[in-house]
Structure 1
Amino acid sequence: MSRGGYERLPMYAFPDSSPRQRHSPRSSSPPFSFTSASTYHLNLQSHDSITLPQTYHRSRNHSQQSRFHLKIRSIVTLLKFVLPASLLLLLLGFYLYEPHIELAFYSRTWTQDQISPVLPLSGCFDEARVNPSYNLTDGLYGPRRTEVQAGMALRMGIDCYDFAGTIHSAPRISNAPVPADARTQYHTYWRNDLAEFGPRQEWMLKSFFATQHLPHLAARAVVQWGPRPKRDSRQRGGRTSRVVRCWCRKTRKHGWTVTSSACYCCGILVACGSTWTPLLTRDLDPLLEHEFVTQWDCYDKIYRPLNGALMRFKKHSPYLCEAFHIMATADAPRPGSTDWGSLLYLKLWRALVAGGVPPFKVLPFCFSDARSCRLDNRLPDPFVPDNDRGNRMGMWNGAMGERGKLDNALQKIFGVHLHNQWEKAFPEGGWVERLLLKSYDNRLHDL
C-alpha cells in the first residue's frame, strides 16, 4: 500500500490486519483503541454495517404535519362544493314543497298531572240537580237550525271565512215583541287596573250596538271588572250606555290569593246566562242557539285547543256547574297562565265525553280570532299600517278596499280578537279604521 494515501492523516494508524478481519461484520472490536504511544486506532467496519445518523423521528413528524395539512385542504375543498349544493337543494325544496314545522316543549310532569287524568263528572247533569229554568232535553238534544262545527281544521285559503258565511239567522219581524226570558244578555268586562277606560274601549261598545239586533237585547250594560268601584256614564253614538263597574274580592284557594276575572265571569254566566264578546263585526244571533267556546287557533294545539274569548252559555247551565266543580277540586291556577281558561275547557270537554254527555260546541278559530293562523290566510295585523312592509298581507294583498276580499271576509266572521293589546292604537287609514270603525259610526248614526 502506498504511503501517499496516509499523508493527510498523520495522527491515525491502522493496525495490521487482514481485509477479512477489518471487514468482518461480526467484529466486536471497539471503533477506537488507544496504544501506549497515545496513538488513536480507528476500527472501520464494512460498509454493510455502517450506521448513518438517525433522522427517523424528524421524518415522522414532518409526515404527520403533511397529512394534517392535506386533510384540511381536502375538507375545505369539499365544503366549497357541499355548502353551495346544500343551499341550492334547500331552496329547491322550499320552491317545490311547503314545510310545516311547529315545535313545542311541555313538561312531562305537568302533562301527567294536568292532562292525562280524565276527571269524573260531579252530577250537575242529573235531572234532580238541574235548575228548572234550564231545559236539559233541549240543551243536550234539541233541534238546531245551524251547525257551527265544521269537522275540519279549515286551514286552507278562505275556507274558514266561507264556512262562517254559511251561518244565517232565521227570518224575523223586526218589530215583533220578544219575551224577556227569550232575550239574550251580552256580557263583557274591562279591568281598570290594567288601563283606564278610553277611546279604544269605546270602540268595543260601538261595535256591539252597531252589529247586534237591539230588540233582542235584555240589557244594555257593560260589566267592568276592577279593583276599585267607580261610577261612570258615557255617550255611545247618540245612546247613553250605563257602564257598571264591578269588582271581585280576593279569594283564597289552597292558600293562594287570586284576583282573577275568570271566577267572576263564570259567576255572571251562571246567574244570568250571557255571551262573552270581543270586537264584533256581525250579529251573533245565529250562534246563540248553541252553547260554545272557540277554537284557540287553526293549528289545533294538543294541550291548548280551546279559547273563551267568544263563548256562550245559558242561564244555570250544567256545563258551567261542572266547570266550577273542576275549579274547586283542581290545583290553583298558575299566575299568568290559562289554567282557568283553555286548560279548564279542555278538562271539562274530556270529562263530558267520558261521562256520556254531549259536549258544548267549539266554533272555528276565524269566527272571532282570525289572526291565529298562518301568514298566508290570517287577518292582517290591525295595529300596523297597510303599506308597512312588516304587515304581511298574504292573500289580502291588493284586495283590502271596500267590497274587496278582506271586506267580504269581515262581513262573514263574527268578531276580531285583539288579545288585550290596549296600549296600541289603530293606524290612521288602516283597514280597521276603513272597514270597521267607520261602518260602526255610520250604523249608529242611522239608528
Structure 2
Amino acid sequence: MSYDRLPMHRRSSSASKYRFNLNARHRAITFLKFFIPAAVLLILYGVFIYEPHVEIAFYERGWVYREIEPIKPLAGCFHPERVSAKYNVSEALYGPKYTDPQAGVRLRFGMDCYDLAGTIRSPPKSPSRPTLPPDERTQFHTYWRIDLAEFGPRQEYMLKSFFATQDLRQTRLVLWSNGDLAEGNRILQTYLKTYPNAFAVRKLSIPELAKGTILEGHSLLTSKDKKAWLDGDLIRLLLLWNYGGVWIDMDSLLTRDLEPLLEHEFVTQWDCYDKKYSALNGALMRFRQHSPYLCEAFNIMLNDTPPREDSTDWGSILYLKLWRRLVAASIPPFKILPFCFSDGRSCRLDNRLPDPFVSDDSKGKWTMGLGIEEGGALDMTLHEKVFSVHLHNQWEKEFPRNGWVERLLIKGYDKKVMSHREAEIS
C-alpha cells in the first residue's frame, strides 16, 4: 500500500516518526562533530602533559592452563638424605635473620619501596674483620658472551660499581664468558692486576657446570638464543649451584654494599606492576652452594615443557613455578626483593628512578619533587637505600654528560677505583 493510500491518522503518525528519526540523526551528527575533535584535542593535550605507559600482553589460555595453573609436586631435593653437606638447612631456612627485606604489601604509594630499602642494614662490623682467602669469599658472578659484543668501557662500569661498593676483604667478582675474554683486553688486564684476590675472569663450560646435577649430559644444555636469555638463565643457576654467592647481570650498576641481603636466598621483583605471570626477575639473585632450591629448579627445567626461544621460561616463569610448588609443599620459599632494591627504573612516573639516558630535568627535581643534586634525595636514595640500578640491556645508549648517573655514580666509582690502584689493594 502506498503512502497516499494510507488513512490520514496513519499518515500523520508516519510523518512524525520520520521527522523524529531525522532530528535524532542530525543531533547525533552534530554531537559527533563536536565530540570527536574535542576528544582528539584532549588526548593530544594529555600526551603533551603526560608520558603514557601502556603495556598489553596476550597469553594463550592453553599455555596458562598447561604451564602455570597446575602445581606439580617437588622432586624431593629438601629431603634430609638428599640435601648436600655443603648446605645448612637449619641456618639457611630456619635460622634467625637480622633483616627482613619483604614488605608483605604492595609498595605502590610514594617512596614506600625506597624507604623500606633504607631499613635494610647490616649489624655492626668488627674493626678487626679478616681478609678471607679468595675461594672463601662471597662470590659475585656475572657473564659476558664474547660472540655478541666486545667488552669495552661501557661494560667496565659494572666492574667499577662492584669495586667501589662491596667489601673487597670478603667478596670476589668472577666475570665468566664463553671464550677467552681477558686475552688481549687491556681493561680486564688492568683489573686483574689491581685486584688479584678480588677479581677473576674465567671461561665456562656448561656441560662441566652441569655435572652432578639432573641436567648432566642432557640436550637442553645446548639451549641458547640471540638475546642470551635461555643460556644466560641456565648459566646463572649452574654457577650458583657450583659456587654459591650472588648473580648480578652485566647491565647493572651496584650502588650499595649487598652484605645485609646475603643472609637470605632471593630473587627480585620484576617491577612494581606485579605482572601476573612475570612477577619475578633474576637480574640480581642469591643462592647458597648446592641449594635445594636450585636442585628443584633443575628438575622443573628437565621435566616441564622445553623453553621457547627468546622467552623467560627458564627465568621469571621458572621462579614462579618453583615458588608455588614450595609453598604448596609447606617449605619456606626463597625471598623476593621489592622492585626498587635493584630495578627502581621500572615503575610509574611518580615513583621511579629518573631515566639514566635522558638529561636531567631543568628544574633539578626527581620524582615527588625531590632534588637530584649531589647530597640531595636521589643521591641519598642511591647510596643509602637501593642496592643497584638495572639498565635492561640498553648498551647502545650513552649516559648524558653530567647527568645523574655520571655525577652521582660514575664519578664516585672512578675516584674509589683510582684510590685502589694507587694503594695496590688486593
TM-score by length of 1: 0.76
Counterparts of 2:40 and 2:224, CA distance in 1: 53
- Unaligned stretches of 5+ residues in structure 2: 6-10, 47-51, 209-216, 226-230, 421-426
1:158 positional shift: 1.0
Alignment of 1:293-332 (within 5 A): 293-332=267-306
2:410 paired residue number: 437
1:215/1:175 Cα in 2 relative to 1: closer, same or farther (>3 Å)?
farther
1:153/1:67 Cα in 2 relative to 1: closer, same or farther (>3 Å)?
closer
Secondary structure, aligned partner of 1:157 = coil
Counterparts of 2:309 and 2:40, CA distance in 1: 45
Which residue type is aligned with residue 112 of structure 2? D
1:164 positional shift: 0.5
1:159/1:346 Cα in 2 relative to 1: closer, same or farther (>3 Å)?
same
Structure 2 contact 167–257 (Cα < 8 Å) conserved? yes
Q: Deviations over 1:406-441 (max 9, x none)?
A: 111111100000111112111111110010000111
Structure 1 contact 174–215 (Cα < 8 Å) conserved? no
2:388 paired residue number: 415
1:339 paired residue number: 313
Counterparts of 1:194 and 1:396, CA distance in 2: 39
Counterparts of 1:188 and 1:254, CA distance in 2: 21
Q: Deviations over 1:291-342 (max 9, x none)?
A: 0000111111111111001100001111100001111111111000000000
* Percent identity of paired positions between Structure 1 and Structure 2: 52
1:87 positional shift: 9.2
1:262 positional shift: 2.2
Secondary structure, aligned partner of 1:160 = helix
Counterparts of 1:300 and 1:345, CA distance in 2: 14
The number of aligned residues is: 381
1:256 positional shift: 8.2
Structure 2 contact 132–169 (Cα < 8 Å) conserved? no
165, 172, 176: which one aligns with 2:125: 172
TM-score by length of 2: 0.79
Counterparts of 2:40 and 2:161, CA distance in 1: 50
- Unaligned stretches of 5+ residues in structure 1: 1-53, 94-98
Counterparts of 1:208 and 1:137, CA distance in 2: 30
1:397 positional shift: 5.1
2:190 paired residue number: 235
Structure 1 contact 275–312 (Cα < 8 Å) conserved? yes
Structure 2 contact 192–200 (Cα < 8 Å) conserved? no
1:182/1:290 Cα in 2 relative to 1: closer, same or farther (>3 Å)?
farther
1:244 paired residue number: 202
1:226 paired residue number: 178
Counterparts of 1:67 and 1:356, CA distance in 2: 69
Structure 1 contact 237–445 (Cα < 8 Å) conserved? no
Structure 1 contact 227–248 (Cα < 8 Å) conserved? no
1:216 paired residue number: 170
Counterparts of 1:423 and 1:215, CA distance in 2: 34
275, 278, 283: which one aligns with 2:246: 275
99, 105, 111: which one aligns with 1:152: 105
Structure 2 contact 139–174 (Cα < 8 Å) conserved? no
1:196 paired residue number: 150
Counterparts of 2:224 and 2:336, CA distance in 1: 28
Counterparts of 1:275 and 1:227, CA distance in 2: 22
1:393/1:323 Cα in 2 relative to 1: closer, same or farther (>3 Å)?
farther
1:282 positional shift: 0.2
Single out whichever of 416-425 and 287-296 deviates more from structure 2.
416-425
1:445 positional shift: 2.7
Which residue type is aligned with residue 261 of structure 1? G
1:263 paired residue number: 234
Single out whichever of 122-131 and 189-198 deviates more from structure 2.
189-198
Higher relative contact order (CA 8 A, sep 6+): 2
1:261 positional shift: 2.3
Which protein is bigger by CA-based radius of gyration?
A: 1
Counterparts of 2:21 and 2:246, CA distance in 1: 74
1:385 positional shift: 1.5
1:67/1:105 Cα in 2 relative to 1: closer, same or farther (>3 Å)?
same
Q: What is the RMSD computed on CA atoms of the aligned residues?
A: 3.6
Secondary structure, aligned partner of 2:267 = strand
Secondary structure, aligned partner of 2:268 = strand
Which residue type is aligned with residue 208 of structure 1? F
Single out whichever of 176-185 and 351-360 deviates more from structure 2.
176-185
Q: Deviations over 1:326-360 (max 9, x none)?
A: 11111111000000000000000011011111000
105, 115, 138: which one aligns with 1:184: 138
352, 372, 375: which one aligns with 2:326: 352
Counterparts of 1:165 and 1:114, CA distance in 2: 37
